[in-house]
Protein backbone atom coordinates (compact mmCIF):
# COMPACT_ATOMS: atom_id res chain seq x y z
CA UNK A 1 0.00 0.00 0.00
CA UNK A 2 1.37 3.39 -0.99
CA UNK A 3 1.65 6.06 1.75
CA UNK A 4 -0.34 8.36 -0.57
CA UNK A 5 -3.35 6.03 -0.80
CA UNK A 6 -6.53 7.48 0.70
CA UNK A 7 -7.03 4.13 2.44
CA UNK A 8 -4.12 4.96 4.78
CA UNK A 9 -6.27 7.70 6.36
CA UNK A 10 -8.88 7.34 9.11
CA UNK A 11 -11.73 8.10 6.73
CA UNK A 12 -15.34 6.96 6.89
CA UNK A 13 -15.54 3.73 4.83
CA UNK A 14 -18.35 5.30 2.78
CA UNK A 15 -16.01 8.11 1.75
CA UNK A 16 -13.27 5.64 0.83
CA UNK A 17 -15.69 3.59 -1.25
CA UNK A 18 -16.86 6.70 -3.09
CA UNK A 19 -13.30 7.93 -3.67
CA UNK A 20 -12.49 4.59 -5.25
CA UNK A 21 -15.56 4.79 -7.53
CA UNK A 22 -14.49 8.30 -8.56
CA UNK A 23 -11.02 7.04 -9.46
CA UNK A 24 -9.30 8.96 -6.64
CA UNK A 25 -6.57 6.54 -5.58
CA UNK A 26 -3.47 8.53 -4.70
CA UNK A 27 -3.50 11.79 -2.77
CA UNK A 28 -1.96 14.90 -4.29
CA UNK A 29 0.99 16.36 -2.32
CA UNK A 30 -1.16 18.97 -0.56
CA UNK A 31 -3.77 16.33 0.34
CA UNK A 32 -1.14 13.94 1.72
CA UNK A 33 0.39 16.71 3.82
CA UNK A 34 -2.79 18.38 5.08
CA UNK A 35 -5.39 15.62 5.51
CA UNK A 36 -3.88 13.96 8.63
CA UNK A 37 -3.95 17.29 10.47
CA UNK A 38 -7.41 18.19 9.10
CA UNK A 39 -8.85 14.83 10.17
CA UNK A 40 -7.25 15.27 13.61
CA UNK A 41 -9.25 18.49 14.05
CA UNK A 42 -6.30 20.86 13.94
CA UNK A 43 -6.28 24.35 12.43
CA UNK A 44 -4.44 24.24 9.10
CA UNK A 45 -3.02 26.77 6.68
CA UNK A 46 -2.51 25.07 3.32
CA UNK A 47 -0.68 26.87 0.56
CA UNK A 48 -0.61 25.28 -2.87
CA UNK A 49 -0.87 26.16 -6.52
CA UNK A 50 -4.17 26.35 -8.37
CA UNK A 51 -5.54 22.88 -9.14
CA UNK A 52 -3.51 21.16 -6.43
CA UNK A 53 -6.50 19.39 -4.84
CA UNK A 54 -7.20 21.71 -1.90
CA UNK A 55 -11.00 21.44 -2.27
CA UNK A 56 -11.04 17.66 -1.87
CA UNK A 57 -8.70 17.97 1.12
CA UNK A 58 -10.99 20.18 3.16
CA UNK A 59 -14.15 18.60 1.69
CA UNK A 60 -13.18 15.19 3.04
CA UNK A 61 -12.41 16.76 6.41
CA UNK A 62 -15.88 18.33 6.63
CA UNK A 63 -17.69 15.18 5.55
CA UNK A 64 -15.72 12.80 7.76
CA UNK A 65 -17.16 14.29 10.95
CA UNK A 66 -20.57 15.28 9.59
CA UNK A 67 -23.62 14.30 11.65
CA UNK A 68 -26.45 14.10 9.12
CA UNK A 69 -29.01 13.49 11.88
CA UNK A 70 -28.31 16.98 13.20
CA UNK A 71 -29.87 19.35 10.65
CA UNK A 72 -27.90 22.43 11.66
CA UNK A 73 -25.00 24.23 9.98
CA UNK A 74 -21.87 22.33 10.96
CA UNK A 75 -19.45 23.77 8.40
CA UNK A 76 -19.09 27.13 6.63
CA UNK A 77 -16.95 27.50 3.50
CA UNK A 78 -16.25 31.06 2.35
CA UNK A 79 -15.16 31.67 -1.26
CA UNK A 80 -14.29 34.88 -3.14
CA UNK A 81 -16.79 34.45 -6.01
CA UNK A 82 -20.13 32.92 -6.87
CA UNK A 83 -18.49 30.67 -9.50
CA UNK A 84 -15.95 29.22 -7.08
CA UNK A 85 -18.64 28.68 -4.43
CA UNK A 86 -20.72 26.75 -6.95
CA UNK A 87 -17.70 24.63 -7.92
CA UNK A 88 -16.79 23.92 -4.29
CA UNK A 89 -20.38 22.93 -3.45
CA UNK A 90 -20.47 20.64 -6.48
CA UNK A 91 -17.21 18.95 -5.43
CA UNK A 92 -18.44 18.44 -1.84
CA UNK A 93 -21.72 16.92 -3.10
CA UNK A 94 -19.71 14.58 -5.32
CA UNK A 95 -17.53 13.50 -2.39
CA UNK A 96 -20.68 12.97 -0.28
CA UNK A 97 -22.51 10.70 -2.72
CA UNK A 98 -22.33 7.70 -0.35
CA UNK A 99 -23.53 9.67 2.69
CA UNK A 100 -27.34 9.89 2.45
CA UNK A 101 -29.22 13.10 3.27
CA UNK A 102 -26.16 15.36 3.20
CA UNK A 103 -27.45 18.90 2.62
CA UNK A 104 -25.04 21.39 1.00
CA UNK A 105 -26.41 24.90 0.44
CA UNK A 106 -24.86 27.70 -1.64
CA UNK A 107 -25.46 31.29 -0.47
CA UNK A 108 -23.96 33.90 -2.81
CA UNK A 109 -24.50 37.54 -3.68
CA UNK A 110 -25.46 38.86 -7.09
CA UNK A 111 -28.72 36.91 -7.23
CA UNK A 112 -32.07 37.30 -5.48
CA UNK A 113 -31.97 36.40 -1.80
CA UNK A 114 -35.56 35.07 -1.63
CA UNK A 115 -34.93 31.57 -3.08
CA UNK A 116 -31.84 31.22 -0.88
CA UNK A 117 -33.85 32.04 2.25
CA UNK A 118 -36.48 29.50 1.20
CA UNK A 119 -33.79 26.80 0.82
CA UNK A 120 -32.23 27.82 4.13
CA UNK A 121 -35.49 27.19 5.99
CA UNK A 122 -35.25 23.51 4.98
CA UNK A 123 -31.93 23.29 6.82
CA UNK A 124 -28.34 22.63 5.75
CA UNK A 125 -25.30 20.79 7.09
CA UNK A 126 -22.69 22.64 5.01
CA UNK A 127 -23.03 26.21 3.75
CA UNK A 128 -20.78 27.42 0.93
CA UNK A 129 -20.99 31.14 0.20
CA UNK A 130 -19.44 34.51 -0.50
CA UNK A 131 -18.58 36.82 2.42
CA UNK A 132 -20.96 39.62 1.39
CA UNK A 133 -24.08 37.44 1.25
CA UNK A 134 -23.19 35.49 4.43
CA UNK A 135 -22.67 38.77 6.33
CA UNK A 136 -25.95 40.13 4.96
CA UNK A 137 -27.92 37.08 6.12
CA UNK A 138 -26.21 37.16 9.53
CA UNK A 139 -27.21 40.80 10.03
CA UNK A 140 -30.80 39.91 9.12
CA UNK A 141 -30.80 37.10 11.67
CA UNK A 142 -31.33 34.45 8.99
CA UNK A 143 -28.20 32.42 9.79
CA UNK A 144 -27.37 30.63 13.01
CA UNK A 145 -23.91 29.14 13.60
CA UNK A 146 -24.10 27.90 17.21
CA UNK A 147 -23.41 24.30 16.05
CA UNK A 148 -20.58 25.25 13.68
CA UNK A 149 -17.58 22.95 13.93
CA UNK A 150 -15.43 24.05 10.98
CA UNK A 151 -14.76 27.29 9.10
CA UNK A 152 -12.99 27.13 5.74
CA UNK A 153 -11.53 30.19 4.00
CA UNK A 154 -10.92 29.09 0.42
CA UNK A 155 -8.72 31.30 -1.79
CA UNK A 156 -8.21 33.53 1.25
CA UNK A 157 -5.69 35.78 -0.52
CA UNK A 158 -8.24 36.51 -3.27
CA UNK A 159 -10.94 37.41 -0.74
CA UNK A 160 -8.64 40.00 0.83
CA UNK A 161 -7.61 41.35 -2.59
CA UNK A 162 -11.30 41.82 -3.40
CA UNK A 163 -11.88 43.91 -0.27
CA UNK A 164 -13.74 41.33 1.82
CA UNK A 165 -11.72 41.87 5.03
CA UNK A 166 -14.47 43.88 6.82
CA UNK A 167 -17.07 41.22 5.93
CA UNK A 168 -14.75 38.42 7.09
CA UNK A 169 -14.16 40.15 10.40
CA UNK A 170 -17.90 40.68 10.87
CA UNK A 171 -18.60 37.00 10.18
CA UNK A 172 -15.82 35.78 12.48
CA UNK A 173 -17.31 37.72 15.39
CA UNK A 174 -20.52 35.67 15.06
CA UNK A 175 -18.88 32.22 14.96
CA UNK A 176 -18.11 29.95 17.93
CA UNK A 177 -14.56 30.45 19.17
CA UNK A 178 -14.22 26.69 19.70
CA UNK A 179 -14.01 25.52 16.11
CA UNK A 180 -11.58 24.18 13.54
CA UNK A 181 -10.38 26.76 11.01
CA UNK A 182 -8.86 25.83 7.65
CA UNK A 183 -7.26 28.51 5.48
CA UNK A 184 -6.50 27.62 1.85
CA UNK A 185 -4.51 29.97 -0.36
CA UNK A 186 -2.42 29.93 -3.51
CA UNK A 187 -0.18 32.66 -2.09
CA UNK A 188 0.73 33.58 1.49
CA UNK A 189 1.35 37.35 1.71
CA UNK A 190 1.78 39.30 4.95
CA UNK A 191 -1.90 40.29 5.21
CA UNK A 192 -2.86 36.60 5.29
CA UNK A 193 -0.30 35.91 8.01
CA UNK A 194 -1.72 38.77 10.09
CA UNK A 195 -5.30 37.57 9.63
CA UNK A 196 -4.37 33.99 10.51
CA UNK A 197 -2.61 35.06 13.71
CA UNK A 198 -5.83 36.77 14.88
CA UNK A 199 -8.36 33.95 14.44
CA UNK A 200 -6.51 30.62 14.22
CA UNK A 201 -5.27 28.43 17.07
CA UNK A 202 -1.69 27.16 16.62
CA UNK A 203 -2.24 26.31 12.93
CA UNK A 204 -0.15 23.77 11.11
CA UNK A 205 1.48 25.28 8.03
CA UNK A 206 1.37 23.09 4.92
CA UNK A 207 3.24 24.26 1.83
CA UNK A 208 3.00 22.12 -1.29
CA UNK A 209 4.81 23.10 -4.49
CA UNK A 210 3.73 26.62 -5.48
CA UNK A 211 5.46 26.66 -8.84
CA UNK A 212 4.73 24.71 -11.99
CA UNK A 213 7.34 22.50 -13.61
CA UNK A 214 7.92 22.14 -17.33
CA UNK A 215 6.12 18.78 -17.32
CA UNK A 216 2.78 20.47 -16.67
CA UNK A 217 3.24 24.00 -18.02
CA UNK A 218 5.51 25.07 -20.85
CA UNK A 219 6.58 28.69 -20.28
CA UNK A 220 7.80 31.07 -22.99
CA UNK A 221 8.89 34.71 -22.67
CA UNK A 222 8.99 37.31 -25.46
CA UNK A 223 10.44 40.80 -25.53
CA UNK A 224 8.39 43.71 -26.91
CA UNK A 225 9.32 47.36 -27.35
CA UNK A 226 6.06 49.30 -27.19
CA UNK A 227 2.26 48.91 -27.14
CA UNK A 228 2.04 48.47 -30.91
CA UNK A 229 4.53 45.60 -30.90
CA UNK A 230 2.83 44.14 -27.80
CA UNK A 231 -0.53 43.87 -29.58
CA UNK A 232 1.18 42.45 -32.66
CA UNK A 233 2.92 39.81 -30.51
CA UNK A 234 -0.39 38.90 -28.88
CA UNK A 235 -2.07 38.40 -32.25
CA UNK A 236 0.80 36.24 -33.48
CA UNK A 237 0.69 34.00 -30.41
CA UNK A 238 -3.08 33.60 -30.69
CA UNK A 239 -2.84 32.76 -34.38
CA UNK A 240 -0.08 30.22 -33.83
CA UNK A 241 -1.63 28.52 -30.81
CA UNK A 242 -5.06 27.89 -32.42
CA UNK A 243 -6.34 27.85 -28.84
CA UNK A 244 -10.02 27.21 -28.22
CA UNK A 245 -9.62 28.40 -24.63
CA UNK A 246 -7.12 31.16 -23.85
CA UNK A 247 -6.99 33.64 -20.97
CA UNK A 248 -5.15 36.92 -21.61
CA UNK A 249 -4.12 38.75 -18.43
CA UNK A 250 -3.77 42.53 -18.25
CA UNK A 251 -2.69 44.59 -15.25
CA UNK A 252 -5.50 47.19 -15.36
CA UNK A 253 -9.23 47.20 -16.02
CA UNK A 254 -8.85 49.88 -18.71
CA UNK A 255 -6.28 47.79 -20.62
CA UNK A 256 -8.54 44.74 -20.38
CA UNK A 257 -11.30 46.46 -22.35
CA UNK A 258 -8.88 48.06 -24.80
CA UNK A 259 -7.22 44.73 -25.59
CA UNK A 260 -10.55 42.91 -25.95
CA UNK A 261 -11.90 45.59 -28.31
CA UNK A 262 -8.72 45.51 -30.39
CA UNK A 263 -8.78 41.71 -30.69
CA UNK A 264 -12.47 41.77 -31.65
CA UNK A 265 -11.59 44.26 -34.36
CA UNK A 266 -9.05 41.80 -35.74
CA UNK A 267 -11.71 39.07 -35.87
CA UNK A 268 -10.95 37.09 -32.73
CA UNK A 269 -13.73 35.50 -30.67
CA UNK A 270 -13.15 37.45 -27.45
CA UNK A 271 -14.86 38.87 -24.35
CA UNK A 272 -13.58 41.03 -21.48
CA UNK A 273 -14.13 39.93 -17.89
CA UNK A 274 -14.74 43.08 -15.86
CA UNK A 275 -15.19 43.45 -12.13
CA UNK A 276 -18.14 45.77 -12.85
CA UNK A 277 -20.25 43.08 -14.50
CA UNK A 278 -23.56 42.14 -12.89
CA UNK A 279 -23.59 38.53 -11.66
CA UNK A 280 -25.98 37.42 -14.43
CA UNK A 281 -23.74 38.95 -17.13
CA UNK A 282 -20.61 37.49 -15.52
CA UNK A 283 -22.21 34.04 -15.39
CA UNK A 284 -23.29 34.31 -19.04
CA UNK A 285 -19.78 35.33 -20.09
CA UNK A 286 -18.04 32.56 -18.16
CA UNK A 287 -20.47 29.92 -19.42
CA UNK A 288 -19.69 30.92 -23.02
CA UNK A 289 -15.96 30.75 -22.36
CA UNK A 290 -16.15 27.43 -20.51
CA UNK A 291 -18.23 25.76 -23.23
CA UNK A 292 -15.95 27.07 -26.02
CA UNK A 293 -18.42 29.55 -27.53
CA UNK A 294 -15.77 32.21 -26.91
CA UNK A 295 -12.11 31.40 -27.46
CA UNK A 296 -10.34 34.30 -25.72
CA UNK A 297 -11.09 35.78 -22.31
CA UNK A 298 -9.28 39.01 -21.40
CA UNK A 299 -9.18 39.73 -17.66
CA UNK A 300 -7.39 41.41 -14.80
CA UNK A 301 -6.27 39.39 -11.79
CA UNK A 302 -9.01 40.93 -9.64
CA UNK A 303 -11.81 40.13 -12.13
CA UNK A 304 -10.57 36.55 -12.49
CA UNK A 305 -10.44 35.79 -8.75
CA UNK A 306 -12.01 32.44 -8.05
CA UNK A 307 -12.12 31.55 -11.74
CA UNK A 308 -11.78 27.79 -12.07
CA UNK A 309 -12.41 26.61 -15.62
CA UNK A 310 -11.12 23.27 -16.85
CA UNK A 311 -9.21 22.77 -20.09
CA UNK A 312 -7.67 26.21 -20.55
CA UNK A 313 -5.11 25.58 -23.29
CA UNK A 314 -3.09 28.78 -23.09
CA UNK A 315 -2.45 31.66 -20.71
CA UNK A 316 -0.94 34.84 -22.15
CA UNK A 317 0.41 37.54 -19.88
CA UNK A 318 -0.13 40.65 -21.99
CA UNK A 319 1.80 42.40 -19.25
CA UNK A 320 4.06 40.76 -16.70
CA UNK A 321 2.42 40.62 -13.29
CA UNK A 322 3.82 43.04 -10.72
CA UNK A 323 4.12 40.25 -8.16
CA UNK A 324 5.87 36.90 -8.62
CA UNK A 325 3.21 34.90 -6.81
CA UNK A 326 0.51 36.48 -8.99
CA UNK A 327 2.44 35.31 -12.07
CA UNK A 328 2.50 31.76 -10.70
CA UNK A 329 -1.22 31.93 -9.92
CA UNK A 330 -1.96 33.20 -13.44
CA UNK A 331 -0.14 30.46 -15.28
CA UNK A 332 -1.70 27.87 -12.95
CA UNK A 333 -4.97 28.37 -14.84
CA UNK A 334 -3.58 26.04 -17.51
CA UNK A 335 -1.94 22.61 -17.31
CA UNK A 336 -4.52 21.17 -14.92
CA UNK A 337 -5.77 17.65 -14.23
CA UNK A 338 -2.73 16.08 -15.87
CA UNK A 339 -2.98 18.05 -19.11
CA UNK A 340 -0.14 20.00 -20.68
CA UNK A 341 -0.48 23.77 -20.58
CA UNK A 342 1.26 26.66 -22.27
CA UNK A 343 2.01 30.09 -20.79
CA UNK A 344 3.31 33.01 -22.87
CA UNK A 345 4.57 36.22 -21.25
CA UNK A 346 5.27 39.53 -23.01
CA UNK A 347 7.94 41.68 -21.38
CA UNK A 348 9.42 45.12 -21.97
CA UNK A 349 12.60 46.77 -20.67
CA UNK A 350 10.56 48.22 -17.79
CA UNK A 351 9.90 44.70 -16.50
CA UNK A 352 13.54 43.94 -15.64
CA UNK A 353 13.08 44.19 -11.81
CA UNK A 354 10.12 41.78 -11.87
CA UNK A 355 11.97 39.43 -14.22
CA UNK A 356 14.89 39.24 -11.80
CA UNK A 357 12.52 38.40 -8.95
CA UNK A 358 10.86 35.74 -11.09
CA UNK A 359 14.23 34.21 -12.00
CA UNK A 360 15.09 34.05 -8.31
CA UNK A 361 11.78 32.38 -7.53
CA UNK A 362 12.05 29.86 -10.38
CA UNK A 363 15.76 29.34 -9.72
CA UNK A 364 16.56 29.57 -13.39
CA UNK A 365 17.50 32.17 -15.97
CA UNK A 366 14.73 33.48 -18.24
CA UNK A 367 15.53 33.40 -21.95
CA UNK A 368 13.50 35.29 -24.54
CA UNK A 369 12.16 33.34 -27.49
CA UNK A 370 11.42 34.35 -31.08
CA UNK A 371 7.88 35.30 -31.95
CA UNK A 372 5.97 33.35 -34.62
CA UNK A 373 6.42 34.44 -38.27
CA UNK A 374 4.65 37.69 -39.07
CA UNK A 375 2.84 36.24 -42.10
CA UNK A 376 0.46 34.52 -39.65
CA UNK A 377 -1.29 37.88 -39.41
CA UNK A 378 -2.39 37.48 -43.03
CA UNK A 379 -4.36 34.33 -42.22
CA UNK A 380 -8.03 34.55 -41.16
CA UNK A 381 -8.85 34.09 -37.49
CA UNK A 382 -10.74 30.97 -36.51
CA UNK A 383 -14.20 31.34 -34.93
CA UNK A 384 -15.01 29.59 -31.66
CA UNK A 385 -16.21 26.03 -32.38
CA UNK A 386 -19.45 26.33 -30.38
CA UNK A 387 -22.41 28.69 -29.89
CA UNK A 388 -24.55 29.00 -26.77
CA UNK A 389 -28.34 28.95 -26.51
CA UNK A 390 -30.14 30.32 -23.45
CA UNK A 391 -33.40 28.63 -22.41
CA UNK A 392 -35.49 30.59 -19.90
CA UNK A 393 -37.55 29.22 -17.02
CA UNK A 394 -36.46 25.58 -17.12
CA UNK A 395 -35.81 25.07 -13.40
CA UNK A 396 -39.37 26.01 -12.45
CA UNK A 397 -40.64 23.08 -14.51
CA UNK A 398 -37.83 20.72 -13.42
CA UNK A 399 -36.28 20.41 -16.87
CA UNK A 400 -33.09 18.34 -16.69
CA UNK A 401 -30.05 18.24 -19.00
CA UNK A 402 -31.37 14.95 -20.42
CA UNK A 403 -34.61 16.67 -21.42
CA UNK A 404 -32.69 19.36 -23.31
CA UNK A 405 -30.43 16.82 -25.02
CA UNK A 406 -33.46 14.71 -25.94
CA UNK A 407 -35.26 17.70 -27.47
CA UNK A 408 -32.19 18.55 -29.57
CA UNK A 409 -31.52 15.01 -30.82
CA UNK A 410 -35.15 14.03 -31.50
CA UNK A 411 -35.63 13.27 -35.20
CA UNK A 412 -31.92 12.39 -35.64
CA UNK A 413 -31.07 15.60 -37.54
CA UNK A 414 -28.77 16.62 -34.66
CA UNK A 415 -26.30 14.10 -33.29
CA UNK A 416 -25.57 14.00 -29.57
CA UNK A 417 -21.89 14.60 -30.37
CA UNK A 418 -22.83 18.03 -31.76
CA UNK A 419 -24.16 19.11 -28.36
CA UNK A 420 -21.70 20.40 -25.77
CA UNK A 421 -22.05 21.42 -22.13
CA UNK A 422 -25.49 21.97 -20.62
CA UNK A 423 -25.57 24.23 -17.53
CA UNK A 424 -28.65 24.70 -15.35
CA UNK A 425 -29.03 27.86 -13.27
CA UNK A 426 -31.79 29.38 -11.13
CA UNK A 427 -33.63 31.14 -13.95
CA UNK A 428 -32.32 29.63 -17.16
CA UNK A 429 -30.24 26.93 -18.82
CA UNK A 430 -27.37 27.28 -21.27
CA UNK A 431 -26.57 24.66 -23.90
CA UNK A 432 -23.59 24.70 -26.24
CA UNK A 433 -23.99 23.37 -29.78
CA UNK A 434 -21.59 23.21 -32.68
CA UNK A 435 -21.51 26.52 -34.51
CA UNK A 436 -22.82 25.19 -37.83
CA UNK A 437 -26.05 23.80 -36.32
CA UNK A 438 -26.99 26.68 -34.01
CA UNK A 439 -29.87 27.80 -36.27
CA UNK A 440 -31.36 24.32 -36.40
CA UNK A 441 -30.91 23.88 -32.64
CA UNK A 442 -32.66 27.20 -31.98
CA UNK A 443 -35.58 26.18 -34.18
CA UNK A 444 -35.98 22.78 -32.50
CA UNK A 445 -35.89 24.17 -28.97
CA UNK A 446 -38.12 27.15 -29.76
CA UNK A 447 -40.78 25.21 -31.67
CA UNK A 448 -40.60 21.95 -29.73
CA UNK A 449 -41.63 21.15 -26.17
CA UNK A 450 -39.97 19.85 -23.01
CA UNK A 451 -42.04 18.52 -20.11
CA UNK A 452 -45.06 19.37 -22.28
CA UNK A 453 -44.22 23.08 -22.32
CA UNK A 454 -42.67 25.60 -24.71
CA UNK A 455 -39.76 27.77 -23.62
CA UNK A 456 -38.22 31.03 -24.81
CA UNK A 457 -34.81 30.42 -26.39
CA UNK A 458 -32.20 32.83 -27.73
CA UNK A 459 -28.68 32.69 -29.14
CA UNK A 460 -26.05 34.46 -27.05
Run of H or E residues at 330: helix 324-331
Choose between 266 and 159: higher pLDDT.
266
Which burial class, exposed, middle or buried, applies to 384 when counting CB atoms under 10 A from its CB (0-12, 13-18, 19+)? buried
What span, in angstroms and rounded, lies between the C-alpha atoms of 310 and 306?
A: 13
Check if the beta carbon of residue 319 is closer than 8 Å to that of residue 346: yes
What span, in angstroms and rounded, lies between the C-alpha atoms of 433 and 437?
A: 7
Predicted local confidence at residue 214, as pLDDT = 52
pLDDT grade for 50, boundaries at 50, 70 and 90:
low
Q: How many degrees, rounded to 5, is the angle at CA 196 between CA 192 and CA 200?
A: 165
Choose between 68 and 301: higher pLDDT.
68
What span, in angstroms and rounded, lies between the C-alpha atoms of 324 and 178?
A: 36
All domains in the chain, ordered by first residue: 6-207 (3.40.50.300), 217-378 (3.40.50.300), 386-459 (3.30.70.330)
pLDDT grade for 7, boundaries at 50, 70 and 90:
confident
What is the average pLDDT across 12-17? 94
Q: What Cα–Cα distance (Å) separates residue 134 from each residue in 46, 118, 163, 176, 310?
A: 23, 15, 15, 15, 27
What span, in angstroms and rounded, lies between the C-alpha atoms of 368 and 109?
A: 43
What is the average pLDDT across 109-137? 91
Asked if the model's pLDDT at residue 309 lies above 80, the reply is: no
Which of 156, 120, 150 is closest to 138 using CA atoms? 120
What span, in angstroms and rounded, lies between the C-alpha atoms of 407 and 414?
A: 10
pTM over 0.85: no
Task: For residue 57, give every residue at least 6 positions away whose Cβ sits within 8 Å of its Cβ, in sequence order, or none.
Answer: 30, 31, 34, 35, 38, 46, 184
What span, in angstroms and rounded, lies between the C-alpha atoms of 207 and 45?
A: 8
What is the average pLDDT across 296-307? 78
Predicted local confidence at residue 339, as pLDDT = 67
What is the average pLDDT across 290-315? 83
Asked if the model's pLDDT at residue 3 lies above 80, the reply is: no
What span, in angstroms and rounded, lies between the C-alpha atoms of 409 and 49?
A: 41
Asked if the model's pLDDT at residue 105 lies above 80, the reply is: yes
Q: What Cα–Cα distance (Å) separates residue 186 from each residue in 156, 173, 245, 332, 357?
A: 8, 25, 22, 10, 18
Q: Which of 47-56, 108-117, 314-323 has the highest mean pLDDT?
A: 314-323
What span, in angstroms and rounded, lies between the C-alpha atoms of 42 and 190?
A: 22
Mean pLDDT score of the chain: 90
| Positive or negative: CA dihedral 220, 245, 305, 80 | negative
Predicted local confidence at residue 212, as pLDDT = 54
Predicted local confidence at residue 191, as pLDDT = 84
Asked if the model's pLDDT at residue 16 lies above 80, the reply is: yes
β-pairing verdict for 428-434 and 386-392: antiparallel
Tens digits of residue pLDDT in 239-275: 999 999 999 999 998 999 999 999 999 999 999 997 7
pLDDT grade for 82, boundaries at 50, 70 and 90:
confident
Tens digits of residue pLDDT in 370-390: 999 999 999 999 999 999 999
Portion of the chain with pLDDT greater than 90, in percent: 66
What span, in angstroms and rounded, lies between the C-alpha atoms of 16 and 63?
A: 12
Which of 307, 302, 341, 79 is closest to 216 using CA atoms? 341
pLDDT grade for 208, boundaries at 50, 70 and 90:
confident
Predicted local confidence at residue 331, as pLDDT = 86
Give me Rg for the CA atoms of the chain: 23
Strand ranges of the sheet holding 296-299, from the earlier edge strand across to the other edge? 217-223, 341-347, 314-317, 246-249, 296-299, 270-273
Task: For residue 130, give every residue at least 6 positions away whose Cβ sits within 8 Å of its Cβ, in sequence order, or none.
Answer: 78, 79, 80, 81, 82, 85, 107, 108, 109
Asked if the model's pLDDT at residue 444 lies above 90, the reply is: yes
* Segment among 4-13, 178-187, 238-247, 336-345 with least mean pLDDT: 336-345
Check if the beta carbon of residue 127 is closer than 8 Å to that of residue 134: yes
Distance of CA 208 to the CA centre of its chain: 20
What is the average pLDDT across 61-69? 95
Asked if the model's pLDDT at residue 404 lies above 70, the reply is: yes
Check if the beta carbon of residue 107 is closer than 8 Å to that of residue 133: yes
Check if the beta carbon of residue 391 is closer than 8 Å to that of residue 458: no
E strands, 230-295, in order? 246-249, 270-273
Amino acid sequence: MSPTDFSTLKLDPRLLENLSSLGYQAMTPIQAQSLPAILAGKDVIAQGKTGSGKTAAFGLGLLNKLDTANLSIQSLVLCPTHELADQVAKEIRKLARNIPNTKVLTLCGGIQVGPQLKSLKHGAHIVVGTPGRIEELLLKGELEFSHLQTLVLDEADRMLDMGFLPSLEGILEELPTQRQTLLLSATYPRKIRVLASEFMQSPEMIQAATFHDSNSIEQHFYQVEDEKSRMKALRLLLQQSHSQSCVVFCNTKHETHEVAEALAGYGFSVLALSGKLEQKDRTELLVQFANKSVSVLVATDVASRGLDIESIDVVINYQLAKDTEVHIHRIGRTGRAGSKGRAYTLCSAEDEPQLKQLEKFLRQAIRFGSLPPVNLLDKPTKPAPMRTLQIDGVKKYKVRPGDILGALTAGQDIDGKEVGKINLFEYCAYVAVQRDIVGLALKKLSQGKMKGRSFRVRIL
